[in-house]
């Protein structure tokens, strides 16, 4: 029995099925051990690893506070908008897939009429479509692009490769290689694509869009699942189109985000004042993180300029946070632990919205009036210094025609477009003929004719000078070193000097550009490494010369590289009647429906049936502001005005003309708009009220008067004789503006008549306190009083403002506002405010108060008193009376309805351009409430600034209706100020 069992057992145990069972059990044991290791031993670790993969903490941006004017009118606010964003979800073939998805997405966005935004990327396009750096100091950006810790590391001492010197195009090409934006030309034997050409088969605009988005995506890498915005604020149709194509647009999402709004039509009035918000830059982030750790991160939006920047801490609110879980595509599948963000505080400005708008409109309207007076139906105007005063400069209509090309009111690139219309095509054909003729002629001049510079026509003088500048500039003709290197030795050379002095009427000698170049070759100043056609290092000088000429012609023939050069040809085509004024006007109509629609029907009919000349047509357009002074960019085209409350030091209006649309700068920069702004000759991004410095001209004279009175050099009755010239300075004696002289004047009369000699004398005596004339001492004394009026310092408003500059030459001329004085309009406004309130110098104030989002007051802001100017009342009276006299002498102020005291000023910057026009004033004279400072850059005569100001005062004091009277066509023509002196 037992044997039987034993036998059966042995048979069982040795059966082959049992062996298989054994093998399986062994395998199962291995697996259980592996499970034990994965789930029990390393279970928590695996769990956390998984959590790390899918869980991320994300901040929720706070709604930014609103900005209101002093009366509670809203100026800036947050609103929600649909944004197209992308998250990097690719592991394999990342470059090609990502580029493909981005291309498709951008195609959809643009097809639906929306725009791709440029965030946090310091390269942009210029008007010709070339890559340029968007900021002056782009080195921190390059440091980030090339992943360096410090800017110095951009230079590699071993290879001598200096990335700091790279052009924007080089940087773009490097990024394109990284991101594989471009085309492979061939395949290697293994079938792998090789021979990559960056940017090939992409337009520059598309390259920029792709590179910028890819750059931002890659800088988001260390933070998982943070999306990068492709386009903020897209239309509903775009949202629908993106969602429809979601299956092919991996990682692309529609997100609801808050965007900043500045009003549809109002934005231009307040753009400089409010500034705009945008992505934080690495530099700014570093700085702010030092200041307040843990407040900002790389994806934040902050105020970049203006009040947005000034009041950032109040406006920003407090970010919230949440934990999100995402899937492998980066899509959020769950949220938890939300901490709601806190809305930012509201900021109330001291600015009066309506007054600001009125001032801006007055400036634009009055600038147009000046232009219509100065534009004459002549071909050209030859300025002669001997005979003409700069206020006599007229604007030939041909300059207006060219200005339309020059400031890109006419889109030159569109002329060669396949959709170009009749006149566009005709003009483009004329241009092609002209271009060929010019390039042939240049070659002929350089190779054979070699005409001396002084015998060339003005047109060819311009061409030759421009070519010469390109030759000595880095990247001028070919990439890299200049063709002709200029160093100290070269500068000392006779021929170089001859060429440099070619335009100087006193020193000019006979010299031609070809002579200069050939001389440069012989002396070894040339660097020919970048030239194509020069094969050997030992090429003879003629080969080198021909190589340089070829390179010049090739460069000038390139529409993108030589955009400005080719644009200039239109000027001569106009003058040579290759294209006509009629064609120019018709192209305007062909290119812009918007422009066409502005024109009243009967006037359009009149033009279309040939009833008026292009001169008449354009004059009407300028008068009606269908073409604004800013669009023309002919002098004068910019102006600024600052209005203050003299009793409180509050700023009521701060206007810089022209403005821009800050909606297009916030929430990501619109590439085309930015290119247009940065190439605009009127520099719209620049705050002309705070960042443009000019000499104050005679508006400075109250400072000199104060200095003279306080230093005891004069008293209110001291009189000085003016004979038209100040003879105490024997070397180049300065003149009074009135050559015939004013006779004897006291300080009140000196101010009233703006007598230069009176103030020269004060300047002279301030400098002669030690018994002899010492300009420096005089300047120091004068500076003390300028400082009392706040002129040595920025005004205190807190937004971007240039440091003013007190004159450091010539005490005598400095006393009348010449010398090297340089002040901003807002600085002059503080000064005249101090004069008006008899000596309280404020740090001007822009902020009225801050309130919580529920309207609880947080803080009232008041202008701080910077210092006081302590003068006896009779001194103030003398100054005030003089200023009142200035206005009394202006007939256009006679029926205003409010008594004004002010001072005009004219400042000359260039003999060939009109003078700057300035006016500072306060009103009412008896009991000052407001002060105004106005400046028209290149505005001919101070009388214009005074009349701009008069219109603003009339509006402020409710003396005239803005639309019906001040801005109406029937309003009186501006009066040229030449007869009123200065």
Partner 1 sequence: MLKNMLNNMLNNVLKKYRFYNFDFLLVAMVVGLTIFGTIAIGMTERSEEQIISPAIKKQIAGIVFCFCVMLIVSLIDYTFILNFYIVFYIANLVLLALIFTPLGKDVNGARRWIMLPVINRFQPSESAKIILILFFAQFIMKYKDKVKNMGFILVCLLLLGIPAILIKKQPDLSTCITIVIILGCMLFVAGIDWRLVAGVLVVGIIGVTLVIYAAGQGNSMFLAEYQQTRIMAWLHPEEYTSSAALQTTNSKMAIGSGQLTGKEQSEIVSILNSGFVSESETDFIFAVVGEEFGFIGGCGVIAFILLIAIRCFRISMIARDKAGELFATGVGAWVGFQGLLNIGVATGVLPNTGLPLPFVSSGLTSLLCLYVGVGIVLNIRLQSNKYI
Q: What sign results for the dihedral spanned by CA atoms 284, 288, 291, 297?
A: negative
Question: Quick one: 28 or 295, whose CB is closer to partner 1?
Answer: 28
94 versus 413: smaller Cβ distance to partner 1: 94
Q: How many CB atoms lie within 10 A of CB 298?
A: 16
Tokens of 157: 């001492």
Asked if 574 and 398 touch (Cβ cutoff 8 Å), the reply is yes
Whole-number minimum distance, CB 319 to partner 1, in Å?
A: 23
Can you read off the two tokens belonging to residue 767?
């400098």
Compare residues 253 and 795 and give the one whose CB is closer to partner 1: 253
* Residue number with CB closer to partner 1 (45 or 964): 45
Q: How far is the CB of 27 from partner 1 (least distance, A)?
A: 5
Residue 14 Cβ, how far from partner 1 at the closest point, in Å?
11
CA proximity to 918, closest of 841, 826, 834: 826
Q: How far is the CB of 256 from partner 1 (least distance, A)?
A: 21
Angle between helices 581-591 and 614-623 (to 10 degrees): 50
Q: How far is the CB of 254 from partner 1 (least distance, A)?
A: 20
DSSP assignment string, 723-775: -SB-TTS-SS--B-SSTT--EEE-HHHHHHTT-HHHHHHHHHHHTTTTSS--H
**CB of 409 within 8 A of CB of 592?**
no
Please report how close the Cβ of residue 803 comes to partner 1 at its closest, in angstroms: 54
697, 906 contact by CB (below 8 A): yes
Beta-carbon contacts of residue 6 (< 8 Å; ≥ 6 apart): none
Nearer to partner 1, 24 or 432 (CB): 24
Helices first, then strands: H and E counts in the chain: 36, 31
Cβ pair 630, 363 in contact under 8 A: no
Closer by beta carbon to partner 1, 94 or else 187? 94
Record the tokens describing residue 874, joined without a space.
């009779």
8 vs 164, which CB is nearer to partner 1? 8
Provide the minimum distance between the beta carbon of 333 and partner 1 in the complex, in angstroms, as a whole number: 6
Nearest Cα to 292, choosing from 304, 281, 284? Answer: 284
Q: How far apart are the first and last CA of the chain?
A: 140
The least CB distance from residue 178 to partner 1, in Å, is: 19
Nearer to partner 1, 80 or 246 (CB): 246
HSE-CB at 283 with a 13 A cutoff on CA atoms is 14
With H, G, I as helix, E, B as strand and everything else as coil, classify residue 177: helix
| C-alpha span between 231 and 233 (Å, rounded) | 7
Q: How would you classify the pairing of strands 847-851 and 346-349?
A: antiparallel
Residue with the two structure tokens 């040229």: 976
**How near is the Cβ of 192 to partner 1 at its closest, in Å?**
14
Alpha-carbon span 310 to 421, nearest angstrom: 48
* Vertex 435: Cα angle to 431 and 440 (nearest 5): 155
Contacts of 924 (CB under 8 A, 6+ apart): 898, 899, 900
Q: Least CB distance from residue 85 to partner 1, whole Å?
A: 19
918 in Cβ contact with 870 (< 8 Å): no
* Residue 90: CB minimum distance to partner 1, A: 11
Structure tokens at 670: 């619109």
Cβ proximity to partner 1, 5 vs 40, nearer residue: 40
Q: Shortest gap between Cβ of 436 and partner 1 (angstroms)? A: 57
Q: What secondary structure letter does DSSP report for 38?
A: I
**Separation between Cα atoms, residue 386 and residue 576, nearest integer Å:** 28
Q: Which of 949, 947, 974 is nearest to 641 (CA)?
A: 949
User: Is 660 in a helix, a strand, or coil?
Assistant: coil
Residue pair 940/370 in contact by the 8 Å Cβ criterion: yes
Residue of 981, 957, 939 lying closest to 899 (CA atoms): 957
In angstroms, what is the minimal distance from the CB of 175 to partner 1? 23
**CA dihedral for 459, 462, 466, 467, sign (positive or negative):** positive
Q: Which two tokens stand for residue 619?
A: 């004059």
Query: Please, which residue, 321 or 613, has the CB nearer to partner 1?
Result: 321
Nearer Cβ to partner 1, position 35 or 809?
Answer: 35
Shortest distance, position 54 Cβ to partner 1, whole Å: 5
CB 480 within 8 A of CB 530: yes
Q: How far is the CB of 670 from partner 1 (least distance, A)?
A: 36
Q: Are 733 and 722 in contact (CB under 8 A)?
A: no
Cα separations in angstroms, 565 against 168, 406, 500, 559: 20, 11, 20, 9
Q: Which is nearer to partner 1, 17 or 387 (CB)?
A: 17
Of 224 and 374, which CB lies nearer to partner 1 in the complex structure? Answer: 224
Q: Least distance to partner 1 from the beta carbon of 252, Å?
A: 17
Q: How far apart are CA 267 and CA 927, in angstroms?
A: 34
What is the rounded (10 degree) CA torsion for 40, 44, 45, 51? 140
Q: Is 322 or 787 the residue whose CB approaches partner 1 more closely?
A: 322
Q: Where do we find the tokens 């000052």?
A: 928
Q: Which residues bind partner 1 (CB under 8 A)?
A: 12, 15-21, 24-25, 27-28, 30-32, 34-36, 38-40, 42-47, 49-51, 53-55, 91-92, 325-329, 333-334
Give bridge partners of residue 159 from the DSSP assignment.
Answer: none
């Amino acid at each position: 029995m037992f044997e039987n069992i034993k036998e059966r057992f042995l048979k069982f145990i040795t059966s082959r099925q049992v062996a298989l069972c054994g093998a399986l059990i062994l395998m199962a044991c291995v697996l259980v051990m592996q499970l034990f290791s994965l789930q029990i031993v390393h279970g928590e670790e695996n769990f956390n690893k998984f959590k790390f993969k899918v869980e991320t903490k994300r901040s929720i941006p706070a709604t930014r506070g609103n900005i209101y004017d002093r009366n509670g009118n809203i100026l800036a606010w947050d609103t929600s908008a649909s944004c197209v964003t992308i998250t990097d979800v690719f592991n394999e073939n990342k470059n090609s897939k990502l580029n493909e998805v981005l291309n498709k997405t951008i195609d959809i966005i643009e097809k639906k009429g929306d725009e791709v935004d440029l965030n946090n990327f310091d390269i942009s396009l210029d008007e010709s479509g070339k890559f340029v750096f968007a900021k002056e100091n782009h080195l921190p950006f390059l440091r980030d692009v090339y992943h360096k810790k410090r800017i110095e590391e951009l230079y590699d001492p071993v290879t001598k490769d200096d990335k700091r010197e790279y052009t924007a195009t080089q940087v773009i090409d490097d990024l394109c290689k990284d991101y594989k934006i471009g085309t492979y030309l061939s395949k290697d034997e293994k079938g792998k694509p090789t021979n990559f050409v960056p940017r090939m088969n992409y337009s520059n605009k598309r390259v920029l869009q792709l590179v910028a988005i890819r750059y931002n995506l890659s800088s988001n890498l260390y933070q998982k699942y943070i999306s990068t915005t492709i386009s903020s604020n897209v239309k509903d149709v775009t949202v629908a189109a993106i969602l429809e194509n979601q299956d092919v647009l991996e990682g692309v999402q529609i997100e609801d985000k808050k965007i900043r709004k500045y009003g549809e039509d109002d934005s231009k009035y307040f753009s400089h004042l409010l500034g705009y918000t945008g992505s934080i830059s690495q530099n700014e982030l570093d700085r702010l993180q030092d200041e307040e750790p843990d407040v900002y991160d790389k994806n934040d939006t902050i105020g970049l300029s203006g009040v947005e920047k000034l009041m950032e801490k109040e406006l920003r609110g407090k970010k919230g946070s949440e934990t999100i879980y995402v899937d492998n595509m980066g899509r959020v599948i769950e949220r938890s632990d939300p901490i709601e963000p806190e809305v930012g505080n509201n900021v109330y400005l001291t600015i009066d919205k309506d007054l600001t708008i009125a001032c801006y409109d007055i400036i634009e309207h009055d600038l147009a009036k000046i232009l219509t007076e100065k534009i004459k139906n002549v071909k050209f105007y030859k300025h002669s210094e001997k005979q003409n005063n700069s206020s006599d400069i007229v604007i030939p209509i041909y300059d207006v025609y060219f200005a339309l090309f020059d400031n890109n009111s006419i889109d030159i690139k569109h002329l060669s477009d396949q959709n170009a219309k009749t006149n566009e095509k005709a003009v483009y054909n004329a241009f092609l003929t002209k271009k060929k003729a010019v390039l042939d002629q240049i070659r002929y001049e350089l190779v054979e004719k070699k005409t001396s510079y002084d015998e060339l026509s003005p047109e060819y003088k311009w061409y030759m000078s421009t070519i010469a500048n390109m030759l000595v500039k880095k990247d001028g003709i070919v990439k890299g070193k200049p063709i002709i290197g200029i160093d100290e030795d070269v500068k000392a050379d006779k021929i170089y000097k001859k060429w440099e002095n070619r335009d100087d009427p006193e020193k000019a000698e006979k010299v031609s550009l070809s002579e200069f170049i050939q001389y440069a070759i012989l002396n070894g100043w040339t660097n020919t490494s970048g030239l194509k056609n020069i094969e050997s290092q030992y090429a003879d000088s003629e080969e080198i010369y021909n190589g340089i000429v070829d390179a010049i012609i090739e460069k000038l023939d390139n529409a993108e590289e030589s955009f400005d050069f080719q644009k200039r040809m239109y000027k001569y085509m106009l003058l040579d009647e290759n294209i006509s004024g009629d064609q120019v006007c018709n192209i305007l109509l062909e290119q812009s429906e918007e422009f066409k629609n502005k024109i009243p029907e009967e006037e359009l009919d009149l033009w279309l049936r040939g009833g008026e000349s292009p001169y008449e047509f354009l004059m009407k357009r300028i008068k009606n502001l269908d073409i604004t002074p800013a669009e023309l960019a002919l002098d004068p085209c910019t102006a600024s005005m600052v209005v203050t409350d003299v009793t409180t030091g509050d700023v009521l209006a701060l206007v810089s003309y022209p403005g821009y649309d800050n909606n297009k700068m916030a929430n990501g920069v619109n590439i085309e708009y930015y290119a247009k702004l940065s190439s605009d000759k009127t520099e719209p991004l620049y705050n002309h009220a705070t960042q443009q410095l000019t000499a104050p001209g005679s508006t400075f004279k109250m400072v000199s008067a104060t200095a003279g009175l306080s230093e005891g050099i004069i008293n209110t009755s001291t009189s000085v004789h003016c004979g038209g010239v100040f003879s105490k300075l024997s070397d180049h004696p300065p003149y009074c503006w009135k050559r015939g002289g004013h006779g004897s004047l006291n300080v009140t009369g000196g101010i009233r008549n703006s007598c230069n000699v009176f103030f020269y004398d004060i300047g002279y005596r301030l400098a002669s306190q030690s018994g002899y004339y010492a300009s420096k001492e005089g300047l120091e004394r004068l500076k003390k009083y300028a400082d009392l009026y706040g002129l040595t310092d920025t005004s205190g408003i807190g937004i971007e403002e240039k440091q003013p500059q007190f004159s450091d030459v010539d005490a005598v001329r400095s006393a009348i506002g010449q010398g090297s004085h340089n002040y901003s309009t807002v600085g002059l406004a503080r000064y005249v405010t101090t004069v008006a309130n008899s000596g309280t110098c404020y740090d001007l104030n822009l902020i009225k108060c801050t309130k919580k989002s529920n309207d609880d007051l947080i803080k009232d802001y008041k202008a701080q008193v910077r210092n006081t100017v302590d003068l006896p009342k009779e001194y103030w009276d003398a100054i005030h009376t003089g200023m009142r006299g200035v206005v009394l002498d202006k007939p256009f102020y006679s029926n205003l309805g409010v008594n004004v005291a002010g001072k005009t000023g004219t400042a000359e910057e260039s003999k060939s351009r009109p003078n700057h026009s300035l006016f500072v004033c306060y009103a009412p004279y008896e009991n000052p409430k407001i002060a105004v400072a106005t400046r028209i850059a290149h505005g001919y005569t101070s009388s214009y600034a005074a009349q701009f100001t008069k219109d603003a005062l009339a509006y402020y004091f409710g003396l005239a209706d803005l639309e019906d009277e001040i801005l109406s066509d029937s309003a009186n023509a501006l009066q040229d100020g030449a007869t009123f002196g200065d």
